[in-house]
Structure 1
C-alpha cells in the first residue's frame, strides 16, 4: 500500500508518517506542497493520499482538483475544526475527497498521535473506497419529476401528518445527499431529517450550503424543532438527535451523546425514537453511503413493520458498508443511486395516507 503524505509542515509530515509506518505493507513518501504531490501522483502512483489544505505554491484544494482530473485517487483531507476549516473540508468532500481527519489543535498539531487509531482506520478504509469526483448534475437518463406545486397556506399541519423521512449517511455523504435532495420538490409531503456523521462545525456548514442550493428550506437542528413538510433538517454534530410527538406535531430534539452507539449523530438512535413515536406506517427511511452499520438494524425493524425503507445502490457509494448492512438484514429493500432515490422518495411519500397515527398501540 503506497501512501503519500502531503503537508507543508515537516513536523506534520513526520508525525503522520510515524503513525502510518506500521500499517501492513505500508510504503510512504511525503510532499511539502501540491506541486510535488502532483509529480509523485504520476511518477510513484500512490494508493491513498493524506492532504493538508493550507500549503504554499499550490494549496490543497487546487491540488485535489488536479488529482481528481488527472488520476483519481482516494484522498483524506487533514483539516482543522475551525469554521473556515469546516467550509474548506466540505468543499473538498464535494470535489471528491473520501474522508477527513480533524486536527485537535491548530495548523501544526503536537497532539495528532491522539488520533492514531482514527487516522490508520481511515487510511485503510480509503484504499478500498470508490473515488467518484462529485457531479451534482442529475443523470441525463433520468426522467424529470412533475413540476413542484407550492403547499397552500394553512395546509402544513395536515401535510405533516403524512409522517417523516429519515436519511442515514456517513463517509462520502455530502455530495450524495445533495444529489438526492435536489430531486425533492417544494410540495414534498413530509419533513426530511438527514443524520450525517460529522462534527458540529461541519454540520452547520453543510446545512448552510444545502440551504443555498436546494429549492426547499434547510435547517440545522440546534434545539427543540418542530418538523414541517417540504423542509430538510440536518442533525447537529457532536450530539445525538431524537424524534418525538407533541400535541400532534413532530418535534426533533438534540440530546447528549449516547455511549451505546459508536457513531454520532446516531442514525440508530434517531430511527429508534421515530419508530417508537410515529410507528412504521409514518416512516420512510433511506440508508446511504458510509462506513459501519449505524441504523441498519433499526431500519430493518421499520421494514418489518411495513414502513418504507430504501438504500443507496452499493456501487454508487463511496463506502458501501452502511447500505450493505441494511441489505443483509432486509434483502428485499429497494436500491437506487442518489438521484433516483430522490424521485422514489417523492412518489412513495405521495402514496402515504393523509393522516398517520402517532404513538405506541
Structure 2
C-alpha cells in the first residue's frame, strides 16, 4: 500500500554498541523519523525485511557479521539506501570506501571520545545525509565483498594497464573506440587540435560529483584508456582523510594514474587528480605551465572540494572550447552554474542522466539551466570523453 506523504520515513539503525544505538535513535527520532534498531548485522538484515526501512544506518565493525557482509546481503535481499557510520581510522576509511563500492549511498564519521556528546556535533550531518539517502536511487546488481570491479581490474605498480581484463575493458584500454561494444551512442566528433602553447594540455576534463560518487566514478574513469590524451581533474565532495585512500583505490581500478592533489601538480596526459579533502582544488599557471593545486576552502560555497571553484579556475587558464565539464550524482547544485557558463562560452558539458544518478540533484540543475550538451548514463560517459579527445 503506498505510503502517505505525511508518514514519517523509516530508518533502521544497525550497531553493536548500545550507547550508539541509543544516541542515533534519539537524534533521528527528534528529526521526525520512525526508528528501529538492531544489535548485529544478521539481526539488521532480518529486521530490514520486516520493518521495511527507507534508510539503514550501518556500522562496519560488528561481531559475528561485519557491516560489509551485512550490506552485501541486504543489497541482495532487499536493496535499500544505506548510510555507513564508520570511524576515521585508516582501516575504517578503506572499509567505508569498500562499502560505497558495494552500494552504500553515503557515510558519516563515527565520533571518538564521549559518543553521547560528540555525536551531537555531527547530528545535523547525520540527519541531512539520511534525508538525502531516503530519496536516493539504489543500484541493483551489487558485487559481493572481494569481487568488486577494483579487484578484477587491479593494476600492479609501474604497469600502464591492469594485467588482466575482460575483452571490453581490454579494448577500452587499447584506446580503440566502438569495436565490440554492444552500445554505440551517437558520439560528438573529436575536437580540432588547438594552437600549440607550451605547458598547456590539448584538453582538460573536469568532473564534479557528490553523494554516490565513488561508485559512479568506478563506472566512468576505468573506461578511459591508458593513452587518453587529456588530464582529468575530479572534485568529489569528501572530508579530509578519505581522498588519499579513495585515490589509491581508483588508481588500482583505472588504466590512468590516479593521485590525490596534495600539492602543486602539473596537468599532464595519463593522469587523474582527485581534489584533497579539506581543500578546494584550483588550476594555476606557474612559469608557463598549468598546474592543479589545493587551495583553502572558499567560504562562499557550502560544499567542498568545490566543483564551481575548480571549473571557474580552469576557465581562467584554458580556452573554453578545450574544456569538458562532467557533472555526476549529488545533492544540491555545486558545479551547475560554472558548467552552464562553460557551455555558453563554447565548452563541452555532460550531465549524468536520471537513469543512473544515485541522487539526481547536481546533474539535474545543469540540465535545468540548459547547460548540458549531453545527458548520458554513467556507463556511457567515458565513451563520449574518448570520442571528444580522439584527434581528428
Instruction: Calculate the TM-score normalised by the size of structure 2.
Output: 0.83
Residue number in structure 2 paired with 1:188: 228
Give structure 1 regions of 4+ aligned residues with deviation exceeding 3 angstroms. Answer: 106-110, 133-146, 156-160
RMSD between aligned residues: 2.5
Judge which range, 165-174 or 332-341, deviates more: 332-341
Q: How many angstroms does 1:282 deviate by?
A: 2.3
Residue number in structure 2 paired with 1:242: 282
Q: How many angstroms does 1:27 deviate by?
A: 1.6
Ranges in structure 2 where 5+ consecutive residues have no aligned partner: 1-8, 144-148, 153-164, 177-195
Residue number in structure 2 paired with 1:356: none
- Within a 5 Å distance, the mapping from 1:220-299 to structure 2 comes to 220-299=260-339
Contact 1:186-1:230 within 8 A present in 2 as well: yes
Q: How many angstroms does 1:146 deviate by?
A: 8.1
Pair 1:201-2:208 in alignment: no
Pair 1:80-2:87 in alignment: yes
- CA distance in 2 between counterparts of 1:176 and 1:143 reads 20
- CA distance in 2 between counterparts of 1:109 and 1:182 reads 42
Instruction: Calculate the TM-score normalised by the size of structure 1.
Output: 0.89
Q: Residues 248 and 340 of structure 1: is their aligned pair in 2 closer, same or farther, counting only changes over 3 Å?
A: farther
Q: How many angstroms does 1:104 deviate by?
A: 3.4
- CA distance in 1 between counterparts of 2:360 and 2:166 reads 20
- CA distance in 2 between counterparts of 1:41 and 1:88 reads 22
Q: Residues 160 and 217 of structure 1: is their aligned pair in 2 closer, same or farther, counting only changes over 3 Å?
A: farther
Q: Residues 247 and 211 of structure 1: is their aligned pair in 2 closer, same or farther, counting only changes over 3 Å?
A: same
Match of 2:58 among 29, 46, 51: 51
- Within a 5 Å distance, the mapping from 1:20-169 to structure 2 comes to 20-24=28-32, 26-105=33-112, 108=115, 110-133=117-140, 134=142, 136=149, 145=172, 147-148=174-175, 161-169=201-209
Residue number in structure 1 paired with 2:369: 329
Residue number in structure 1 paired with 2:185: none
Q: How many angstroms does 1:41 deviate by?
A: 1.1
Ranges in structure 1 where 5+ consecutive residues have no aligned partner: 150-155, 353-361
- CA distance in 1 between counterparts of 2:21 and 2:242 reads 25
- CA distance in 1 between counterparts of 2:113 and 2:256 reads 36
Q: Residues 271 and 229 of structure 1: is their aligned pair in 2 closer, same or farther, counting only changes over 3 Å?
A: same
Contact 2:199-2:290 within 8 A present in 1 as well: no
Residue number in structure 1 paired with 2:384: 344
- CA distance in 2 between counterparts of 1:326 and 1:106 reads 42
- CA distance in 2 between counterparts of 1:110 and 1:237 reads 25
SS at match of 1:112: helix
Contact 1:4-1:49 within 8 A present in 2 as well: yes
- CA distance in 2 between counterparts of 1:104 and 1:277 reads 41
